[in-house]
Amino acid sequence: MGIVLGPTQYGKAECRLVRIIRGAQRHEIRDLNVSTALRGDFAAAHISGDQSRVLPTDTQKNTVYAFSKVHGVGEPEEFGLLLGRHFVNSIESVDGARITIEEFGWDRIDGHDHSFVHRGQEVRTAVVTVAGHDAWVVSGLADLVVLKSTGSEFAGFLVDEYTTLPETHDRVLATALTVQWRYSRLDVDWAPAYDDVRRLLLDAFAGTHSLALQQTLYAMGSAVLAARAEIAEIRLVAPNKHHFAVDLTPFGLDNPGEVFHAADRPYGLIEATVSRDDAPDPGPAWT
Amino acid sequence: MGIVLGPTQYGKAECRLVRIIRGAQRHEIRDLNVSTALRGDFAAAHISGDQSRVLPTDTQKNTVYAFSKVHGVGEPEEFGLLLGRHFVNSIESVDGARITIEEFGWDRIDGHDHSFVHRGQEVRTAVVTVAGHDAWVVSGLADLVVLKSTGSEFAGFLVDEYTTLPETHDRVLATALTVQWRYSRLDVDWAPAYDDVRRLLLDAFAGTHSLALQQTLYAMGSAVLAARAEIAEIRLVAPNKHHFAVDLTPFGLDNPGEVFHAADRPYGLIEATVSRDDAPDPGPAWT
Amino acid sequence: MGIVLGPTQYGKAECRLVRIIRGAQRHEIRDLNVSTALRGDFAAAHISGDQSRVLPTDTQKNTVYAFSKVHGVGEPEEFGLLLGRHFVNSIESVDGARITIEEFGWDRIDGHDHSFVHRGQEVRTAVVTVAGHDAWVVSGLADLVVLKSTGSEFAGFLVDEYTTLPETHDRVLATALTVQWRYSRLDVDWAPAYDDVRRLLLDAFAGTHSLALQQTLYAMGSAVLAARAEIAEIRLVAPNKHHFAVDLTPFGLDNPGEVFHAADRPYGLIEATVSRDDAPDPGPAWT
Amino acid sequence: MGIVLGPTQYGKAECRLVRIIRGAQRHEIRDLNVSTALRGDFAAAHISGDQSRVLPTDTQKNTVYAFSKVHGVGEPEEFGLLLGRHFVNSIESVDGARITIEEFGWDRIDGHDHSFVHRGQEVRTAVVTVAGHDAWVVSGLADLVVLKSTGSEFAGFLVDEYTTLPETHDRVLATALTVQWRYSRLDVDWAPAYDDVRRLLLDAFAGTHSLALQQTLYAMGSAVLAARAEIAEIRLVAPNKHHFAVDLTPFGLDNPGEVFHAADRPYGLIEATVSRDDAPDPGPAWT
């Protein structure tokens, strides 16, 4: 029996990069949270403290900022590929890299050239994994909060001795979506693809008469796969943000789906994957 | 020398109320976080544990939900006035009430009748104070995040022995605004007033060439007072969310206002009040 | 009618200062979050953008760090007085200062000379206000979470048409205390005073058979005033963190105070002040 | 090409259970956050909305509370095994379960029988995975914040064109540890094992002269494996919470490791696994 070092990775997390593109008159803004993680032959750093193969996390941060100047950031998927390939190609001890990016949206204030208002809590995400000569891109969004005030049921479920939930044919359905989709190619026009997936998700949420959040998630995922051939797989994580109809009968009032308490915890949590049956192997795209 | 009970208040904080207005076809949604606080003669509860004059916080919560059914919620200012007056008028031991409301915005998904997407982090607020027959309304917004990528200077400041900051004539200016404004009347059309104040704040932020965040705040506040006669006073709290230009010279690169690190802490914090010189006494509106 | 600038203050918030005192062998650590705010004649900065009387918030931050080297930090009350008086005495445009400090505790790991483990969520606080030649100190603690699993009742309360809460003579009482106490003198031995107040609060919480959280707060506050002559006034803010006994009767089980759901929102919120009847005027200590 | 449902799971997240054990005189408290997730044949729920094989998440919550009454909660690992096996054994459509538990610690107030003070931010964790007749236990802790004020170096690292970091032979090393360890057996005395692992981690952190956080993590992990034969593998995630020595030279002051700015973001993030070379296959323990 011996004790051995298993998988490791290290990097600089949450580099908060704001990149201004200064046109003659009109500025553009990209607002990113960039995390790098390198994989490779770092056993000596762990076992004997020998740092000679370790590119400092401070250097990784510098690289993020310098690359944003030289190359711009473009779409987060592009910037992730650029950074990941740089580390793998230029540092001998590095054989893999994972670049994780969050992008925060800004809108112009009334069309102004250089004044912006933050769009909201929703976040666009990209996770780029480079291993040797290969690369994988997983795009996504987080904290997209949606609600249906009707058109949602939950009935016909399994009943055991601990079941007290009544069936319902009209409830509020609300969730804060985290969705990630894996591309099978890298020659994608990332920005319109993102916009389209977001629209498809919202349309499927709105357009599906829901018999369960599970069903809604599958409808959302399959709508994306049906429309976007370059996407191999989509994963959805959806807390069921319970809205409980308040019992107003003690006050002589009925409550036909009008007054709800929005609860914090506990919440249902539904996770689902929808994929193509001929999807290419994900390799290290997710892990 | 004796030990005495000083000011007290108690209530139910953060009642998360979602009110659906079910039209024939089309639903409306109001999403509120309502906190109640009652003031009055509660000394016995503190000193001897006698609860006979204490309306339970649970009852206050019930009242919030029941009133939302009977009266609707209307604008948060109206709902606050309704609740505050109810407690003061109907409970003998209560001589004052403070109702604090946050409202979260939702947009329709592509015009859909009953499907909505959460608008974002920005929050509309209302603080209603009732004391006897009088009432005060303070409306506001929180977490309105804005940024100018140019048109902001900071120079000519006081220098002492601990000053190392260089002057700048072109910087990023960003803040997360918390603004509250006190009305001098109660017969206000709350929703358009709110929309107008928000627009005035954004326009003043965008339109002011800033010599300091202090100056921008005053410009925002005075623009609101100039346009809205029913507002007596406005208070602004603005963290200066520092965006530091990254030094790229070690990499042979210049950085003419393009690459920034968005820092978390510390941050400047600027607080200002702008008022009319003939503003009516605020009474307990703020405290 | 004219528009005028009202009260303002500005400063650097949340300077995260860790100060190591390196003894010959044994290190001490003070871990602070320091916020400064200056008051004075800053109207020109707001109205015309003239910064000539404005000491930059960056300078205030530098002063925090430099003073911690030259003077040490001592107790947070001392450090606050030192900083506040410095700004008021050395900067002509400054006539008042508010220094707010949070201190985070660390314990030695097994008596080790320079290795520490973070003590927890509880925070020691100090708010120092300097105005001209005068100064006020308000010490406190935040997020001290306590719970009684019995010895708490809530009964005999006022009942109106919206009351559904049953009386109880045995419930869980839990809260996360924020407490602040104002000293009437400045020649206080701050550290033992803090430790003693904290102990008095805990003992009163534990030792009081509670007929209401209101009563417990008053017992805590008056115990502190009874024991510490240098404290003029104490303010307590206590969310009633509801623990609801779960109804297990659908499963053929009783639940005599054993199984609880710890709810998040809404929560009762009780605020109380206890003071001496001859307490000196608070001046700007709290505002 | 077809669209297919991939892996799914669903359950009730964050059931906040407080269990009081009422002895004749003295109470004990267990404070848990329990999340359940079921795996099995739920395709119909996703694809056609048929819920007949779906045990509601509400029922899962009920089961958590009811089991805590009937069986007590014991150690979180035991409670997780109990719940996980129940769902797999009693519900035909369920072939796997993942029970995730956080436990929050309380200390008695001065030895009091039923009054407690919350211990702090540190959390004990357990993740139990049941699949058919097998089960896996991963115990852990989260948010254990530790700091060394000396005895930490970072030098001899790889230098590329983006490297500006100077070497240091004396720095502050601080991190907020998330550690999880997988047991190779289930007949473990969970509470003393947890206490011992926690002590081993702290002792290794304190006792290791650190040449890098990587080295410290490996020392911590291997110390645990060396001492506890029943642990097959340990995973450590450690943000390098940077403490930057403040440059005081502009004020004529040196700073020999005394004054630090504790930065928020970005931070280094080091992840490592240490395992036995003959560790049994983890199966679904981690995924």
| DSSP secondary structure letters along D41-76 | --HHHHHT---TT---HHHHHHHHHHHHHHT---SH
**A7 part of contact set with chain D, CB < 8 Å:** yes
**Summary count for chain B: helices (H), strands (E):** 5, 11
**A160 part of contact set with chain C, CB < 8 Å:** no
pLDDT at C146 over 80: yes
**A263 part of contact set with chain D, CB < 8 Å:** no
Q: Decide if D1-132 and D136-287 have a common fold.
A: yes
Structure confidence by residue, pLDDT tens digits, B187-204: 999 999 999 999 999 999
| Chain-centroid distance, C-alpha B96 | 21
pLDDT at B1 over 70: no
pLDDT at B121: 82
Task: Find where tokens 């209401």 sit.
Answer: C212
CB contact under 8 A, C278 and B1: yes
Task: Mutation target for A interface from C242, C243, C264: give the one with most A CBs within 10 A.
Answer: C264
Q: Which one of D112, D145, D255 has the shortest CB-CB distance to C206?
A: D112
Shortest alpha-carbon distance between residue D247 and chain B (Å): 11
Amino acid at C139: S
Can you tell me whether residue D88 is helix, strand or coil?
helix
Compare all CA atoms of chain D with the CA of B247 and give the residue at the minimum distance. D164
Is the pTM for the entire model greater than 0.90? Answer: yes
Structure confidence by residue, pLDDT tens digits, C169-198: 999 999 999 999 999 999 999 999 999 999
Class of domain A8-132: alpha beta
Pick the CATH number of C1-132 from 3.10.270.10, 3.40.50.720, 3.40.1180.10, 3.30.1390.20: 3.10.270.10
pLDDT at A121: 82
CA–CA gap between residue B202 and residue B222 (Å, rounded): 13
Q: In this structure, are residues D286 and D138 in contact, taking their beta carbons and an 8 Å threshold?
A: yes
Stretch (H or E) spanning D201: helix D190-207
Task: Mutation target for B interface from A258, A264, A265, A267: give the one with most B CBs within 10 A.
Answer: A258
Tokens of D197: 């692992």
Q: Alpha helix locations (H) across chain D? A: 43-47, 57-70, 76-90, 190-207, 213-227
Pick the CATH number of D136-287 from 3.10.450.50, 3.10.270.10, 3.30.565.10, 2.40.10.480: 3.10.270.10
Query: What is the mean pLDDT for each group of 10 consecutive residues in chain A (287 residues)?
Result: 94 98 96 98 97 98 98 97 98 98 97 95 96 98 98 98 98 98 98 98 98 98 98 98 98 98 98 97 96
Tens-digit pLDDT string for chain D (287 aa): 699 999 999 999 999 999 999 998 999 999 999 999 999 999 999 999 999 999 999 999 999 999 999 999 999 999 999 999 999 999 999 999 999 999 999 999 999 999 999 998 899 999 999 999 999 999 999 999 999 999 999 999 999 999 999 999 999 999 999 999 999 999 999 999 999 999 999 999 999 999 999 999 999 999 999 999 999 999 999 999 999 999 999 999 999 999 999 999 999 999 999 999 999 999 999 99
Determine whether domain C140-287 maps to CATH 3.40.50.300: no
Considering the candidates B8, B57, B59, B273, report the single residue annotated as catalytic: B57
pLDDT at D121: 82
Among residues D211, D204, D209, the alpha carbon closest in space to that of D227 is found at: D204
Shortest alpha-carbon distance between residue B266 and chain D (Å): 9
Report the largest interatomic distance among the alpha carbons of chain A, rounded to a whole angstrom: 76
Among residues C235, C262, C258, the alpha carbon closest in space to that of C248 is found at: C258
Question: What angle in degrees, to the nearest 10, is found between the helix axes of D76-90 and D190-207?
Answer: 130
Which chain D residues touch A59 with a CB distance below 8 Å? 159-160, 162-165
CB contact under 8 A, D261 and C119: no
Task: Find where tokens 């009351």 sit.
Answer: C163
Average pLDDT (C253-258) is 98
Of chain C, the end-to-end C-alpha distance in Å amounts to 28
Instruction: Tell me if residue A57 is catalytic.
Output: yes
CB contact under 8 A, B151 and A27: no
CB contact under 8 A, A29 and B147: yes
Confidence of residue C279 (pLDDT cuts 50, 70, 90): very high
Q: In this structure, are residues D104 and D125 in contact, taking their beta carbons and an 8 Å threshold?
A: no
Structure confidence by residue, pLDDT tens digits, B26-45: 999 999 999 999 999 999 99
DSSP 8-state code for residue B204 = H
Q: How many CB atoms lie within 10 A of CB B2?
A: 8
How many residue contacts between A and B have a Cβ separation below 8 Å?
184
Which chain A residues touch C164 with a CB distance below 8 Å? 250
pLDDT at C1 over 80: no
pLDDT at A1: 65
Q: Count how many Cα atoms sit within 13 Å of the Cα of residue C161 in the half-sphere of its side chain.
A: 10
Rg (CA), chain A: 23
Confidence of residue C121 (pLDDT cuts 50, 70, 90): confident
Average pLDDT (B255-261) is 98
Q: Which one of C165, C211, C270 has the shortest CB-CB distance to B10?
A: C270
Average pLDDT (B216-241) is 98
Can you tell me whether residue B99 is helix, strand or coil?
strand
Confidence of residue B239 (pLDDT cuts 50, 70, 90): very high
pLDDT at C20 over 70: yes
Per domain, the residue ranges of chain C are 1-132, 140-287
pLDDT at C99 over 90: yes
Which chain B residues touch C267 with a CB distance below 8 Å? 12-14
Percent of chain C at pLDDT exceeding 90: 99
pLDDT at C60: 98
**With a cut of 0.90, is the ipTM above it?**
yes
pLDDT at C120: 81
Q: What are phi and psi of A243, to 5 degrees?
A: -115, 110
CB contact under 8 A, C5 and B56: no
Which chain A residues touch D215 with a CB distance below 8 Å? 45-49
Considering the candidates A86, A241, A242, A243, report the single residue annotated as catalytic: A242
Class of domain B135-281: alpha beta
Among residues C181, C186, C283, C171, the alpha carbon closest in space to that of C223 is found at: C181
CB contact under 8 A, A262 and B17: yes
Determine whether domain A140-280 maps to CATH 3.10.270.10: yes
Q: Alpha helix locations (H) across chain B? A: 43-47, 57-71, 76-90, 190-207, 213-227
Q: Provide the chain A residues 16-55 that lie in CB contact (below 8 A) with chain B.
A: 16-22, 27, 29, 31
